[in-house]
Chain A
Amino acid sequence: MSAETSHSCPMMRAEVIDTYFMEHRARIIDIAAFLDRVERAGTSDDAEDFREVSFRQALGILSDGKPQRAARILSLLSDQTTEMAQSAEGMKGASGAPMPPATGGNA
C-alpha cells in the first residue's frame, strides 16, 4: 500500500540531458530574465513581495543537491496553516505562494 519513491526512468542520464536540456535551458533563462525584470522595475516601497521571497527560497532548493526538488518547492509554496476561515467572502483567488498573516493570509 505504501507509495515509496523509486528510480525507474528507463533512460540513461545522458539521454535525459540530450532529450530535455534545450527545453530547460530556455526555461532557466526565462527565470533569469524575470528576476532581472523585477530588479529593473520601479517600486513604491521597500517591502519585498511575499511571492518574491518564496520564489528566491525556491531557487535555493533547485541548487541544494538534494532529491525531491519538485515536491519540496510545492510544499514551500503551500499554505502550511491548519486554521479555516468561515467563508470565502472577500478572499482573492490563489496567489501561488502562502500569504503571511499580516497581508491577509489565513493564519
Chain B
Amino acid sequence: MKYIDPHIHMVSRTTDDYQRMAQSGCIAVTEPAFWAGFDRSSAQGFYDYFRQLTDYEPRRASQFGIQHFTWLCINPKEADDPGFAREVLSLIPEFLDNHNVLGIGEIGLNKNTRNELIILEEQIALAEKHNQMVLVHTPHLEDKLKGTRIIMDALAASGIDPGRILIDHVEEHTVAEVLNRGFWAGMTLYPDTKVTPQRAVDIIEMYGSERIWTNSAGDWGCSDPLAVPKARLEMKRRGHGDELVDRVTLHNPRTFLSQSGRFDVEV
C-alpha cells in the first residue's frame, strides 16, 4: 500500500517518524509553512525556516524514500502585524524557484481580524502574480465557520482557479460550502480539535470522494503522523474497497498536487 500525507509539519517531528511513515507506505509529504508554537522575533527567523523547508528537510525525508515538497508563506497567527508580515513576504519570491516548492501556504485566518485579512489578500496576490497554487488554513473551533467563508470570498475575488486551491481543516459544517464553490477540501485528522478518522470516513460517505483528501497535519502539538494510514484502515474496516481508499489517500492528492509541474511522484 502507498499513500501521500499532503499536510504535515515534519520540522516538528523526529526522524523515526519518517521511518514509521515509510514503513506504513508513505511515499511523499507536503509541508506548509506554519506557526512554530511561538512568535518569531524577526523576519530572519522565517528566512532560516524557509531554508530548512527547501533544503534540509527534503534531504532528511529522502533517507527513507519519502519525497518532500513544501509551501511557503507567513502563517495567519503571525500575520496580524502587517508591517512585520510584509517583511516576511518580501523574502518568499527568492525561494519560489526551488525544486520542492509547490505554492503559497498555509495562508488563511486565525482570529478573523482585518489585519489578518489584509495579509491574506496580499499573499493571494503573491500567488497569483507568480502563478502558484494555494494551500489554505482555516481557523479552529468557533472561528472556523466564519473564517472559512471570509477566506473563500477573498479567494473568489482573485483570478486564481479554485481548482488550484485546497482549503484545509474542513469539518462537517464547512465541507459542503467548500466543495460547492469549486475548491478542493482537506480533512485534518487531529486529536481533539479537528476530525477523527471515523468522522473523516463519515464525511467521505456523505459528501463523496471527489476533490477531497485526508492529512495528518502532524506537528509539535498532540498529533499523529500515522493518521492517514489509520483513516485507510477505518475505510477498509467498514468494507470500502481499495479503489476508494487509494483515491482519497493517494490519487486525489497526486491529482491536485501534480498541477504543479514539480510534484513528480510516481505511484
Contact = CB atoms under 8 A, between A and B. Distances in A.
Interface in A55-98: 68, 70-72, 74-75, 77-82, 84-89, 91, 94-98
Contact of A1 (B146, B172, B182): B182
Given A6-B208, A10-B238, A91 B141 contact: no
Contact of B206 (A6, A10, A19): A6
Interface string B105-116: 000001111111
Contacts of B199: 70
Nearest to A89: B80
Contacts of B237: 19
A79 B180 contact: no
Contacts of B206: 5-8
Nearest to B239: A10
Interface residues on B, range: 35 or more
B142 A77 contact: yes
Interface in A1-34: 1-11, 19-20
Nearest to A78: B145
Nearest to A76: B173
B146 A85 contact: no
A94 B141 contact: yes
Nearest to B212: A3
B254 interface: no
A95 B142 contact: yes
B140 interface: yes
Given A78-B142, A94-B139, A85 B180 contact: no
B113 A88 contact: yes
Contact of A106 (B112, B117, B144, B208): B112
Given A78-B142, A78-B146, A85-B111, A11 B80 contact: no
B143 interface: yes
Contact of A74 (B139, B172, B179, B208): B172
B240 A94 contact: no
A97 B144 CA distance: 11
B265 interface: no
A97 B237 CA distance: 33
Given A5-B207, A10-B240, A19-B237, A86 B141 contact: no
20 contacts: A3-B175, A3-B207, A5-B206, A6-B206, A8-B206, A70-B171, A74-B145, A75-B145, A75-B173, A77-B141, A78-B144, A81-B146, A85-B112, A88-B113, A88-B116, A94-B141, A94-B142, A95-B141, A98-B142, A106-B112
Interface of A: 1-11, 19-20, 68, 70-72, 74-75, 77-82, 84-89, 91, 94-99, 106
